[in-house]
Each structure stands twice: as C-alpha cells, then as structure tokens.
Amino acid sequence: MTERLRNSLLFAGMAALLVAVGVFQSANLALAILNLCLISAIMALGVNIQWGYAGLFNAGVMGFTALGGLAAVIISVPPVTEAWVAGGLRAVSGLVLGVLTIALGILTWKKLSLGKTARGWTSALIIVTGVIAMRWVVDPAVEAIEAVEPAKTGFLGGFGLPIMFAWMAGGALAALAAWAIGKISLGLRSDYLAIATLGISEIIIYVLKNEDWLARGVKNVNGLPRPVPYEIELQATLWVQNLASRLDINLIELSSIIVKLCYAGLFVVVLALIYWLSERALRSPWGRMMRAIRDNETAAGAMGKNVTSRHLQVFILGSAVIGIAGAMLTTLDGIFTPSTYQPLRFTFLVWVMVIVGGSGNNLGSILGGFVIWFFWIEAEPLGLGLINFFTSSMAEDSALRIHLLQNAAYTRYITMGVVLLLVLRFSPRGLIPERNR
C-alpha cells in the first residue's frame, strides 16, 4: 500500500466517523465537532513545528491559546470611551513604564561594566524601583477603569475592528510572549523550557483572570462580533426559508448548520494556508537545517549553525500558530472566558494529538488533531455507555452505580493517557510517520 493511499484511507475513515455522528446523533453536533477538530489541527501544527521540527517541549500551549483569545477581545470589541477617559492614558503609560524598566534592567545587566554582583544589584534596584513606580501610576487608573459600569464594561475595550484581524494579532501576541520566554529558557537543558512554559502559561491565565481592566477577568467578555452571519438574520432571508422547506428540515436547525459551515469554510482556508506554509518550510533548506539540529545538536553546532537562535526562531513560529488557533477558538465561541483554560485540555491534549498523529509530519498532526478531538468529545457518551453496560446487572439505586455514572465523564482523561502511552510504546512514530528524506 502506498503512503498516499494509506493516508487517504486514514482521512477517509476520519470523515466517515464524522458523517456517522451526523447521521446517528445530529448534523449540528457533527459540524460542531468538525469546527473544533479544525482548530485543534492548527494547534497541533503549531506544536508540531516546535516538537516535530526542532524537538522543543512546549508545556505552555494553554497560555498561547489564551493570548490568542485575548487578541480577539482587544481587536474586535469597540473601545469603552468613558474608561479611556477615566484612566486609559494613565494605564497605558504605566505599562510602557513597566516595559521600559525591564528593558533598562536587562540592558544594565548586559552592558554595564561592573562586577557581576554589582551589576546584579543595580539591575535589581532599577527593576524594583520601576515596578513600584509603575504600580503608583497604574493602580489608580485601574481602579478608575474598573469603576466604569462594572456590570457591563469596566474595561478598556478594544479597537472595534473586524474580528478576523484578531487571528493575525493573536499570532503576533503569542509570538511576542514566545520570544520573551524563549530568550530566558532556550539554550538551557530541555526540561527547563518545559517548566518555564508551564509557568508562563499559568501566569498568563492568572493575569487574564485578575486584570479586569484588560478583558473583564472572570466576568468574561461575551457577544464578540462574528465574521459570519447570525442565525436570526439567516432565518429571515428568503433563500434559507426556501431551502428549509425543500430539504424538509427545521429552519432554526438549518440556520445553525449554515453558520457552522461558514465557520468551517474559514477555518479550512486558514488550516490549508498554514499547512502549505509549514510544508514549504519543512522542505526548504531551513527545514533541513532544523531537522539536522534536532537530530544532533552538537554536530549541527559544529557545522556552524547557531542552535539557540534557530530554536528561538522555531519556538516563536510555532507559538504564533498556536496563538492564531486560540484567536479562532474565541471567535467561534463568541465569548472569552479565562476560567475555561485548563492545562489538561489545552496543553497536554494537544500534545497527545501531535504524538498520536505522528511527530514531525504535518499531515499527521492534522489527522491527530481530528482523531483526538473526536474521541475527546465522543469518549464521554462512549464511557457512559460502557459503564451502563457493565453495571446493568446492579440495582438501579446502587450507590456504586450512581457514583460511576456521575463520574463517567472523567474516563476520557484515562482514555487519553492510555492512548498516548500505547502509541508511544508500540508505534512511537504515530499514525502518519515522518517521511525519511
């Protein structure tokens, strides 16, 4: 069986699974799963760029996803004028002050011709003073901003641009964060990158939860503008009504199917574009160099490749892709909820996708994104069914049975762990292995 045939069969099988959900459960559910499959595939591509191309372990996927979501808010929400009047300028200048302080501190550390201890204390002093000054500038501004109609706004709002711009902005924001974190932890032992990214992602979530002036914190920003029409509008148009009567389905259901199809179309375009670019990069001399570095850092270094700066480059690229996916996710949801970001779902699940799909192979990552997301969603009804089956001999009111049924949802964590370990053990190259070039 040729490789092409095998891959086509795998994707056809995946499509068949989605169609089966459409037939046996509902078309709406199948499309909802498909949309998230597409986003997961993009996230998996991002992680694959870092892990598959360069062997970097990013344990902070969640943070970059959330930054993408933040970008969606900042780009699309109209500015809150009163909040800007109340303290916008002061808050922004405070933030600029903070950034300048850190830059100055780093510059002192790098450039000042003093002893190591003296340099350390000077830059520490600069940063501490700067942070105190920043707090002094920012705190009253934050208070003023958060006091502006806290039930409705209480934040600065955004630029009021079309939300599609946010997809790029999300990538840029994530890239910026990746640059900072990469500067610190790349070039050290590989575990340190994992721990540092794990840390930064948790902190990003904490900031988003607590800084209400930025994106309302746990009060969430809802009703984000959409790139596609609303269901209500569709229901009012003639062709949709005609189509509904011709296909003999409910108008409301049809409109929601059309909306999901529109999203799917947009996501497919983005996924195809990123896939094409990633493949181009992988086949280029640059991709060859990345693989050389991944497979033997010492040898690549000896050949004059700057390993650390290549790693930084590829880390930023991968994080940007994850940021784009994060912005798309928030666009799809139409609501930004910082409290829903959890490491198991947003970081480690994406890792399972990449490993199961086949690390180093872009097509594999896409397939992994589809398969794993599908089973992540469908594991719950499947687990419930299994437990129902095995406990059917027990009494209806048996405490054990009730307990098992209540917690059935958590079987999906177990399933994912088992799948990851089984793939690593028996087929470490994944569903679609990396091609030998």
Contact residues toward another protein (CB under 8 A) are 55, 57, 59, 120, 184-185, 188-192, 194-196, 198-200, 202-203, 206, 209-210, 343-344, 348, 351-352, 355, 403-404, 406-407, 410-418, 420-421, 424-425
Query: What minimum distance in Å lies between the beta carbon of 388 and another protein?
Result: 15
| Distance (Å, whole) CA 96 – CA 111 | 22
Contacts of 282 (CB under 8 A, 6+ apart): 53, 362
User: In this complex, which beta carbon is closest to another protein, that of residue 38 or of residue 352?
Assistant: 352
Minimum Å gap between C-beta 343 and another protein is 6
Which is nearer to another protein, 38 or 408 (by Cβ)? 408
Min dist CB 417 to another protein, Å, is 3
Token pair of 93 as six digits: 């200048």
- What does the block give as tokens for 242? 């005609």
127 versus 234: smaller Cβ distance to another protein: 127
Rounded CA-CA distance 280/204 in Å is 32
Residue with Cβ nearer another protein (234 or 379) = 379
Q: How far is the CB of 100 from another protein (least distance, A)?
A: 18
Show Cβ contacts of residue 82 under 8 Å, excluding neighbours closer than 6 positions. Answer: 148, 149, 153
CB of 273 to another protein, least distance (A): 29
Residue whose CB is less far from another protein, 179 or 413: 413
> Nearest approach, Cβ of 276 to another protein (angstroms)?
28
Question: Any bridge partners for residue 188, and if so which?
Answer: 186
DSSP secondary structure string for all residues of 235-297: HHSHHHHHHHHHHT--HHHHHHHHHHHHHHHHHHHHHHHHHHHHHHHHHSHHHHHHHHHHH-H
How would you class 326 by CB atoms within 10 Å of its CB: exposed for 0-12, middle for 13-18, buried for 19 or more? buried
CB-wise, 30 or 379, nearer to another protein?
Answer: 379
Report, in Å, the least distance between residue 12 CB and another protein.
Answer: 28
Kindly tell me which of 265 and 417 has the beta carbon lying closer to another protein: 417
Q: By three-state DSSP, how is residue 188 classified?
A: strand
Radius of gyration of the chain (CA): 24
